[in-house]
Protein backbone atom coordinates (compact mmCIF):
# COMPACT_ATOMS: atom_id res chain seq x y z
CA UNK A 1 0.00 0.00 0.00
CA UNK A 2 1.30 3.41 -0.94
CA UNK A 3 1.82 5.98 1.81
CA UNK A 4 -0.79 8.30 0.29
CA UNK A 5 -3.41 5.54 0.21
CA UNK A 6 -2.53 4.64 3.79
CA UNK A 7 -2.95 8.23 4.96
CA UNK A 8 -6.26 8.69 3.18
CA UNK A 9 -7.61 5.45 4.57
CA UNK A 10 -6.46 6.49 8.03
CA UNK A 11 -8.39 9.75 7.66
CA UNK A 12 -11.42 7.86 6.31
CA UNK A 13 -11.35 5.43 9.20
CA UNK A 14 -11.09 8.15 11.84
CA UNK A 15 -13.81 10.19 10.21
CA UNK A 16 -16.21 7.25 9.86
CA UNK A 17 -15.38 6.23 13.42
CA UNK A 18 -16.35 9.67 14.74
CA UNK A 19 -19.73 9.47 13.02
CA UNK A 20 -20.31 6.00 14.46
CA UNK A 21 -19.29 7.21 17.91
CA UNK A 22 -22.01 9.88 17.90
CA UNK A 23 -24.66 7.22 17.40
CA UNK A 24 -23.11 4.48 19.49
CA UNK A 25 -22.54 6.74 22.51
CA UNK A 26 -26.27 7.38 22.90
CA UNK A 27 -27.01 3.71 22.45
CA UNK A 28 -24.48 2.58 25.03
CA UNK A 29 -25.60 5.23 27.54
CA UNK A 30 -29.25 4.21 27.39
CA UNK A 31 -28.34 0.58 27.74
CA UNK A 32 -25.74 1.10 30.42
CA UNK A 33 -27.75 3.44 32.61
CA UNK A 34 -31.34 2.43 31.96
CA UNK A 35 -30.77 -1.18 30.97
CA UNK A 36 -32.89 -0.63 27.87
CA UNK A 37 -32.07 -1.94 24.43
CA UNK A 38 -33.32 0.83 22.21
CA UNK A 39 -33.46 -0.41 18.61
CA UNK A 40 -35.30 2.81 17.70
CA UNK A 41 -32.17 4.85 18.36
CA UNK A 42 -31.56 4.84 14.58
CA UNK A 43 -34.92 6.54 14.13
CA UNK A 44 -33.60 9.61 15.99
CA UNK A 45 -30.70 9.65 13.54
CA UNK A 46 -33.15 9.52 10.62
CA UNK A 47 -35.53 12.13 12.05
CA UNK A 48 -32.63 14.51 12.74
CA UNK A 49 -31.62 14.26 9.07
CA UNK A 50 -35.19 14.69 7.81
CA UNK A 51 -35.88 17.69 10.04
CA UNK A 52 -32.76 19.54 8.99
CA UNK A 53 -33.75 18.83 5.37
CA UNK A 54 -37.24 20.21 6.10
CA UNK A 55 -36.05 23.31 7.98
CA UNK A 56 -33.04 24.24 5.86
CA UNK A 57 -34.14 23.19 2.36
CA UNK A 58 -37.92 23.64 2.44
CA UNK A 59 -38.41 26.43 4.97
CA UNK A 60 -35.01 27.93 4.07
CA UNK A 61 -34.17 28.76 7.66
CA UNK A 62 -30.56 29.76 8.39
CA UNK A 63 -28.51 26.61 8.92
CA UNK A 64 -27.59 27.07 12.62
CA UNK A 65 -31.25 27.70 13.47
CA UNK A 66 -32.34 24.70 11.38
CA UNK A 67 -29.82 22.41 13.11
CA UNK A 68 -30.65 23.65 16.59
CA UNK A 69 -34.39 23.30 15.98
CA UNK A 70 -33.94 19.79 14.61
CA UNK A 71 -31.95 18.72 17.68
CA UNK A 72 -34.45 20.27 20.09
CA UNK A 73 -37.35 18.62 18.24
CA UNK A 74 -35.67 15.21 18.38
CA UNK A 75 -34.91 15.62 22.10
CA UNK A 76 -38.56 16.49 22.76
CA UNK A 77 -39.67 13.49 20.72
CA UNK A 78 -37.10 11.30 22.50
CA UNK A 79 -38.36 12.43 25.90
CA UNK A 80 -41.94 11.63 24.96
CA UNK A 81 -40.87 8.17 23.77
CA UNK A 82 -38.85 7.66 26.95
CA UNK A 83 -41.67 8.72 29.32
CA UNK A 84 -44.54 7.09 27.46
CA UNK A 85 -43.03 3.93 26.03
CA UNK A 86 -39.67 3.03 27.52
CA UNK A 87 -39.99 4.03 31.19
CA UNK A 88 -42.64 1.36 31.83
CA UNK A 89 -40.32 -1.20 30.22
CA UNK A 90 -37.27 -0.58 32.40
CA UNK A 91 -37.83 -3.61 34.58
CA UNK A 92 -39.15 -5.83 31.84
CA UNK A 93 -37.39 -8.56 29.93
CA UNK A 94 -34.99 -7.46 27.16
CA UNK A 95 -37.10 -9.33 24.63
CA UNK A 96 -40.08 -7.10 25.43
CA UNK A 97 -37.90 -4.02 24.95
CA UNK A 98 -36.58 -5.30 21.65
CA UNK A 99 -40.10 -6.00 20.40
CA UNK A 100 -41.45 -2.61 21.44
CA UNK A 101 -38.52 -0.61 20.11
CA UNK A 102 -38.58 -2.63 16.88
CA UNK A 103 -42.22 -1.61 16.59
CA UNK A 104 -41.11 1.99 17.06
CA UNK A 105 -38.71 1.65 14.10
CA UNK A 106 -41.59 0.53 11.88
CA UNK A 107 -43.77 3.39 13.10
CA UNK A 108 -41.12 6.07 12.60
CA UNK A 109 -40.09 4.73 9.16
CA UNK A 110 -43.71 4.72 8.06
CA UNK A 111 -44.20 8.19 9.52
CA UNK A 112 -41.27 9.42 7.43
CA UNK A 113 -42.94 7.95 4.33
CA UNK A 114 -46.26 9.61 5.19
CA UNK A 115 -44.66 13.01 5.86
CA UNK A 116 -41.94 13.13 3.22
CA UNK A 117 -42.86 10.41 0.73
CA UNK A 118 -40.77 7.50 -0.52
CA UNK A 119 -38.45 9.72 -2.55
CA UNK A 120 -34.80 10.06 -1.69
CA UNK A 121 -33.88 13.55 -0.51
CA UNK A 122 -30.59 15.23 0.25
CA UNK A 123 -29.19 18.10 2.24
CA UNK A 124 -26.53 20.35 0.73
CA UNK A 125 -23.10 20.86 2.23
CA UNK A 126 -22.94 24.44 3.62
CA UNK A 127 -21.03 26.72 1.20
CA UNK A 128 -18.08 27.35 3.53
CA UNK A 129 -17.40 23.61 3.87
CA UNK A 130 -17.54 22.69 0.18
CA UNK A 131 -14.50 21.76 -1.86
CA UNK A 132 -11.54 19.61 -1.02
CA UNK A 133 -8.11 20.03 0.45
CA UNK A 134 -5.19 19.14 -1.83
CA UNK A 135 -2.67 17.74 0.61
CA UNK A 136 -0.58 16.39 -2.25
CA UNK A 137 -1.31 15.40 -5.82
CA UNK A 138 -2.47 11.98 -4.66
CA UNK A 139 -4.21 13.10 -1.50
CA UNK A 140 -7.39 15.06 -2.03
CA UNK A 141 -9.76 15.18 0.88
CA UNK A 142 -13.24 16.76 1.15
CA UNK A 143 -13.28 19.66 3.64
CA UNK A 144 -16.68 18.59 4.92
CA UNK A 145 -15.37 15.22 6.04
CA UNK A 146 -12.58 16.86 8.00
CA UNK A 147 -15.20 19.08 9.65
CA UNK A 148 -17.27 15.98 10.41
CA UNK A 149 -14.33 14.29 12.10
CA UNK A 150 -13.64 17.49 14.07
CA UNK A 151 -17.23 17.76 15.25
CA UNK A 152 -17.20 14.13 16.35
CA UNK A 153 -14.00 14.63 18.28
CA UNK A 154 -15.35 17.74 20.03
CA UNK A 155 -18.48 15.80 21.07
CA UNK A 156 -16.38 12.89 22.31
CA UNK A 157 -14.24 15.19 24.48
CA UNK A 158 -17.32 17.02 25.76
CA UNK A 159 -19.03 13.78 26.62
CA UNK A 160 -15.91 12.48 28.34
CA UNK A 161 -15.71 15.64 30.48
CA UNK A 162 -19.38 15.38 31.44
CA UNK A 163 -19.16 11.71 32.35
CA UNK A 164 -15.76 11.88 34.08
CA UNK A 165 -15.84 15.25 35.82
CA UNK A 166 -19.40 16.22 36.74
CA UNK A 167 -21.79 15.05 39.45
CA UNK A 168 -24.34 13.97 36.83
CA UNK A 169 -21.59 12.02 35.13
CA UNK A 170 -20.74 10.33 38.39
CA UNK A 171 -24.35 9.22 38.83
CA UNK A 172 -24.41 8.00 35.25
CA UNK A 173 -21.23 5.98 35.78
CA UNK A 174 -22.54 4.59 39.03
CA UNK A 175 -25.90 3.89 37.43
CA UNK A 176 -24.33 1.91 34.62
CA UNK A 177 -22.45 -0.10 37.21
CA UNK A 178 -25.26 -0.88 39.64
CA UNK A 179 -28.60 0.75 39.09
CA UNK A 180 -30.38 -0.54 42.20
CA UNK A 181 -27.53 0.56 44.46
CA UNK A 182 -27.77 4.11 43.11
CA UNK A 183 -31.47 4.34 43.91
CA UNK A 184 -30.84 2.73 47.29
CA UNK A 185 -28.45 5.60 48.04
CA UNK A 186 -31.37 7.98 47.71
CA UNK A 187 -30.73 9.31 44.23
CA UNK A 188 -33.87 9.74 42.16
CA UNK A 189 -32.93 7.90 39.00
CA UNK A 190 -36.00 8.97 36.98
CA UNK A 191 -34.70 12.44 36.00
CA UNK A 192 -31.23 11.00 35.38
CA UNK A 193 -32.71 8.45 32.98
CA UNK A 194 -34.61 11.18 31.16
CA UNK A 195 -31.49 13.31 30.91
CA UNK A 196 -29.35 10.48 29.61
CA UNK A 197 -31.97 9.47 27.11
CA UNK A 198 -32.38 13.05 25.90
CA UNK A 199 -28.62 13.39 25.51
CA UNK A 200 -28.46 10.15 23.54
CA UNK A 201 -31.29 11.31 21.26
CA UNK A 202 -29.55 14.67 20.77
CA UNK A 203 -26.31 12.95 19.77
CA UNK A 204 -28.12 10.67 17.33
CA UNK A 205 -29.92 13.66 15.82
CA UNK A 206 -26.61 15.51 15.53
CA UNK A 207 -25.10 12.52 13.77
CA UNK A 208 -28.08 12.47 11.38
CA UNK A 209 -27.67 16.18 10.69
CA UNK A 210 -23.93 15.86 10.08
CA UNK A 211 -24.36 12.78 7.91
CA UNK A 212 -27.27 14.15 5.85
CA UNK A 213 -25.09 15.93 3.25
CA UNK A 214 -23.02 12.81 2.52
CA UNK A 215 -25.72 10.17 2.88
CA UNK A 216 -29.16 10.29 1.34
CA UNK A 217 -32.16 11.26 3.42
CA UNK A 218 -34.58 8.38 2.93
CA UNK A 219 -36.95 6.24 4.99
CA UNK A 220 -35.02 3.48 6.70
CA UNK A 221 -31.69 5.36 6.61
CA UNK A 222 -31.40 4.80 10.37
CA UNK A 223 -31.76 1.03 10.02
CA UNK A 224 -28.55 0.70 8.01
CA UNK A 225 -26.41 2.52 10.53
CA UNK A 226 -27.96 1.16 13.73
CA UNK A 227 -26.62 -2.35 13.02
CA UNK A 228 -23.05 -1.06 12.81
CA UNK A 229 -23.65 1.09 15.90
CA UNK A 230 -24.62 -2.06 17.79
CA UNK A 231 -21.40 -3.73 16.64
CA UNK A 232 -19.51 -0.75 18.05
CA UNK A 233 -21.33 -0.97 21.39
CA UNK A 234 -20.72 -4.70 21.67
CA UNK A 235 -17.03 -4.35 20.82
CA UNK A 236 -16.52 -1.50 23.26
CA UNK A 237 -18.45 -3.08 26.09
CA UNK A 238 -22.06 -2.26 26.80
CA UNK A 239 -22.51 0.91 28.88
CA UNK A 240 -18.99 2.24 28.47
CA UNK A 241 -18.47 5.61 26.78
CA UNK A 242 -14.75 4.93 26.54
CA UNK A 243 -15.59 1.58 24.96
CA UNK A 244 -17.91 3.20 22.43
CA UNK A 245 -15.12 5.62 21.48
CA UNK A 246 -12.47 2.95 21.03
CA UNK A 247 -14.96 0.57 19.40
CA UNK A 248 -16.07 3.24 16.91
CA UNK A 249 -12.48 4.03 15.93
CA UNK A 250 -11.66 0.34 15.56
CA UNK A 251 -14.71 -0.33 13.40
CA UNK A 252 -14.04 2.78 11.32
CA UNK A 253 -10.40 1.84 10.72
CA UNK A 254 -11.05 -1.85 10.07
CA UNK A 255 -13.84 -0.96 7.68
CA UNK A 256 -11.82 1.48 5.59
CA UNK A 257 -8.63 -0.61 5.51
CA UNK A 258 -10.67 -3.76 4.92
CA UNK A 259 -12.09 -2.26 1.74
CA UNK A 260 -8.58 -1.80 0.32
CA UNK A 261 -6.81 -4.86 1.71
CA UNK A 262 -9.60 -7.46 1.48
CA UNK A 263 -12.04 -5.99 -1.05
CA UNK A 264 -13.89 -9.27 -1.64
CA UNK A 265 -14.77 -9.85 2.01
CA UNK A 266 -14.70 -6.22 3.19
CA UNK A 267 -18.28 -6.34 4.47
CA UNK A 268 -17.32 -9.21 6.78
CA UNK A 269 -14.25 -7.57 8.28
CA UNK A 270 -15.97 -5.67 11.09
CA UNK A 271 -18.08 -8.68 12.07
CA UNK A 272 -14.97 -10.85 12.16
CA UNK A 273 -13.37 -8.19 14.36
CA UNK A 274 -16.37 -8.32 16.68
CA UNK A 275 -16.26 -12.10 16.89
CA UNK A 276 -12.54 -12.10 17.69
CA UNK A 277 -12.89 -9.47 20.38
CA UNK A 278 -15.79 -11.33 21.97
CA UNK A 279 -13.74 -14.52 22.11
CA UNK A 280 -10.92 -12.63 23.79
CA UNK A 281 -13.15 -10.45 26.01
CA UNK A 282 -16.73 -11.73 26.22
CA UNK A 283 -17.98 -8.44 27.70
CA UNK A 284 -16.29 -6.22 25.14
CA UNK A 285 -13.13 -4.19 25.59
CA UNK A 286 -14.32 -2.04 28.50
CA UNK A 287 -17.44 -3.90 29.59
CA UNK A 288 -18.08 -4.85 33.19
CA UNK A 289 -18.20 -8.55 34.03
CA UNK A 290 -21.69 -10.02 33.98
Distance between CA atoms of 42 and 103, rounded to whole angstroms? 13
Contact 198, 80 (CB under 8 A): no
Q: How many residues does the chain have?
A: 290
Name the residue nearer to other proteins (CB basis): 138 or 157.
138
Q: What is the largest CA-CA distance in the chain?
A: 62
Q: Which is nearer to other proteins, 70 or 149 (CB)?
A: 149
Residue 134 DSSP symbol: E
Residue 186, C-beta contacts closer than 8 angstroms, at least 6 positions apart: none
Q: Which of 65, 115, 227, 272 binds other proteins (CB under 8 A)?
A: 227
Query: Cα(128)–Cα(169) distance, rounded to whole angstroms?
Result: 35
Residues 7-26 that bind other proteins (CB under 8 A): 8-9, 12-13, 15-16
Least distance to other proteins, CB of residue 167, Å: 37
Does 255 interact with other proteins (rule: CB under 8 A)? yes
* Residues in contact with other proteins, shown as a per-residue x/- string from 175 to 214 under the rule CB under 8 A: --------------------------------------xx
Determine the Cα angle at 289 with ends 285 and 290, to 5°.
125
- Tell which positions 102-141 bind other proteins, by CB under 8 A: 113, 118-122, 124-125, 131-132, 138-141
Residue 2 or 180: the one with the smaller Cβ distance to other proteins is 2
Contact with other proteins (CB under 8 A): which of 194, 220, 271, 283?
220
Q: Least distance from C-beta 150 to other proteins, angstroms?
A: 16
Q: Measured from the CB atom, is 132 or 188 closer to other proteins?
A: 132
Strand-pairing partners, residue 132, are 142
145-160 burial, b at 16+ Cβ within 10 Å, e below that, comes to bbbbbebbbebbeebe
List residues bridging with 134 in a β-sheet: 140
Give the nearest distance from C-beta 218 to other proteins in angstroms.
4
> How far apart are the C-alpha atoms of 208 and 45, rounded to whole Å?
4
> Pairing mode, if any, of strands 140-142 and 132-134?
antiparallel
Nearer to other proteins, 161 or 265 (CB): 265
Positions touching other proteins (CB under 8 A) are: 2, 4-5, 8-9, 12-13, 15-16, 113, 118-122, 124-125, 131-132, 138-142, 144-145, 213-221, 224-225, 227-228, 255-256, 259-260, 263-264, 266-267
Amino acid sequence: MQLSTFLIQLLNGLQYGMLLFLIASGLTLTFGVMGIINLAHGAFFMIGAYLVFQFARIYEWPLPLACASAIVAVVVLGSIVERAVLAPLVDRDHLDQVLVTYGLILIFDELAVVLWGKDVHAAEIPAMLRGSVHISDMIVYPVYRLALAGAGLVCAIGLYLIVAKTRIGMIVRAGSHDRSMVSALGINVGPVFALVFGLGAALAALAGILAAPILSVSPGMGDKIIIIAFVVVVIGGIGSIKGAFVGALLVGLFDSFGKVLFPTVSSLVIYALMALILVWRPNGLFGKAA
